Structure 1
């Protein structure tokens, strides 16, 4: 692993029932970067993140996080990872504060340290008033925020987020952005996937575009954009069915909106 890399992925591959979902992904994430992973639905982003974070065993390839091989040294690697996964599952019969207290102790923090950090995270993320409510009664946005708090509680050097802003209100989203910016400015690393190009362009220092299980291009945001918006660069590289599929140039959907009624 290079000294400047927080995450290195080499030859990562995964197939389900003979269908390849991730096909030889190669990725280097610099330390202290805010790294965006973008791609259409089914591109392999979530599967890749699941393998990178040790939640799903790859068929082939290696992953190193913060200097530790995720599959050869899982304890050391996962100790340095915070995760907010897709399809977030939480202990729903705990209150928000209880969930953080439990998470902190699982991570080896002292009770006093856990409680102090939990109070600060609940306050910053606007969850103090809901701290004693059961998580099962949280809205989707609140669940995202308590999940983020749990992921940050042990102050990991690398944080992985899968669609962290989905269903989060604009005020909370701005708060999360500020927390994550402060986190990366301190030298820690964020890797997150999103479908929202404008958000990735506003937040990220680096980006990788993924399609059909492969990394199409990766690098600094400016290099990938090449003077265009990230959305324009994405569309040029990945395209859409109307420009790249079977319907290209055949007047697809001309009937739509042309009712004879």
Structure 2
């Protein structure tokens, strides 16, 4: 990364409330181009809401989101053309086969037909779906559905990938294949922003990260700087203020020798 490279994603003052609950509270985030960037936080931290606002899926109450200098909400067509998105709870046209779905998405993204065919074949092979290319997506397992969703996010060769829990429900072998794809994508100049609950995954894969809780960024920057000499798990628990409790109230769970 160099100073001449633009920021891949710039979020300023993002705010979103659902009724009385403030899900995201004036969040600021800058993601450098060409890196693997992790977004971690406890359940309800605001990660999915933040990524939804950053990618044009959910309108913020306040704040701005820019992708490679394009304003996501003022110029959504230009911004979304640069992104590949795997949202939480992805909804797919599951009465199509995997190959048909990639063809459909490629056409929506205005990819030339010859490129759609070649890219689809390569993606299906790389993600271990070649043998199920002509199976209906409705018959895919949860892990297979996650992988075909990732293939859809990649087929138009975006400059930025935004992935919400991309390894959820994916088996270890497939997970390693996805890691290899994301590392190569980043090495070739692409940027990945991914949320995850798994600290070990982020620690082994990401160059930079942000820790989010109660809709705010508690720490962000290069992995080693955020860890501060601790494991990411230890630093995460320190930042979010984890306190073990409730054990005494679960006395009824203890096994009885009687």
Query: Do these two structures clear the TM 0.5 threshold for a shared fold by scoring above it?
Result: yes
How many residues align? The count is 254
Tell me: CA distance 1:9–1:95, structure 2 relative to 1, closer, same or farther (3 Å): same
* Contact 2:106/2:116, CA 8 A, preserved across alignment: yes
User: Which of 130, 133, 158 is the matching residue for 1:131?
Assistant: 133
Deviation at residue 252 of structure 1 after TM alignment: 4.0
- Which residue is equivalent to 1:178? 180
Q: Which residue of 2 aligns with 1:75?
A: 77
Deviations 1:13-64 (A, max 9, x none): 0000121000000000000010000000000000000000000000000000
Q: TM-score, normalised by structure 1?
A: 0.94
- Backbone CA RMSD of aligned residues: 1.5
Give, in angstroms, the shift of residue 253 of structure 1.
3.7
Match in the other structure for 2:229:
227
Match of residue 45 from structure 1: 47
Q: Which residue of 1 aligns with 2:148?
A: 146
1:241 CA displacement: 4.3
Contact 1:211 1:238 in 2 (8 A): yes
Question: Who is 1:164 aligned against?
Answer: 166
Measured in 2, the distance between the counterparts of 1:217 and 1:105 equals: 40
| CA shift for structure 1 position 239 | 2.8
Is the CA contact (8 Å cut-off) linking 1:242 and 1:252 kept in structure 2? Answer: no
- Asked if the contact 2:116/2:155 (under 8 Å) is kept, the reply is yes
8 Å CA contact 1:210–1:217 kept in 2: the answer is yes
Match of 2:191 in 1: 189
Compared with structure 1, are the counterparts of its residues 254 and 55 closer, same or farther at alpha carbon in structure 2 (3 Å cutoff)? closer
- 2:254 corresponds, among 243, 251, 257, to 257
Larger mean CA deviation between 181-190 and 233-242 belongs to: 233-242
| Cα distance between partner residues in 2 of 1:227 and 1:254 | 35
State the TM-score, normalizing by the size of structure 2: 0.95
Q: Distance in 2 between matches of 1:88 and 1:46?
A: 12
SS in 2 for 1:10: strand
Instruction: Tell me, in whole angstroms, the C-alpha distance in 2 between the residues paired with 1:29 and 1:68.
Output: 14
